[in-house]
Amino acid sequence: MEKVSEACYQRFFERSSGLGETAMMSRFCRYVEKVFDFGLRIAQLKDPRRRPRIPLGAIWGSVFFLFVLRQRSLHAMEGQLRQPRRMERLIGQKKPSADRMGQVLS
């Protein structure tokens, strides 16, 4: 059973060729934006840091996608974020590094 769900995951969420989002990831981003106003909600997060270079919403959104994409580490998520146009619709163009995500979450 696990192999079937893993195969479905690979088919829908992994990038097969080219750059940017897959069709399923694009639909998912539009869905969470339409139903939950995801971009607006993460933009409204309060940031206790002084003069942050990367918005808290970008960090929180990146960690959210860490779970959605079932990445096993912050470094794996950083690799996903470094792909051009990947999740920019909701996270924005300033994407956090694995170190920054870890520092903010700790």
Residue 73, pLDDT score: 92
CA 39/CA 3 separation, integer angstroms: 33
Per run of 10 residues, the mean pLDDT along the chain (length 106 residues) is 43 46 79 87 86 89 89 90 78 89 88
Between 98-105 and 74-81, two packed helices, what is the crossing angle to 10 degrees?
A: 130
Sequence-distant (≥ 6) Cβ neighbours of residue 30 within 8 angstroms: 89
| Paired tokens of 61 | 């959104």
Task: Determine the structural domain holding residue 96 and report its residue range.
Answer: 2-105
- Its pTM stands at 0.70
Number of domains, the chain: 1
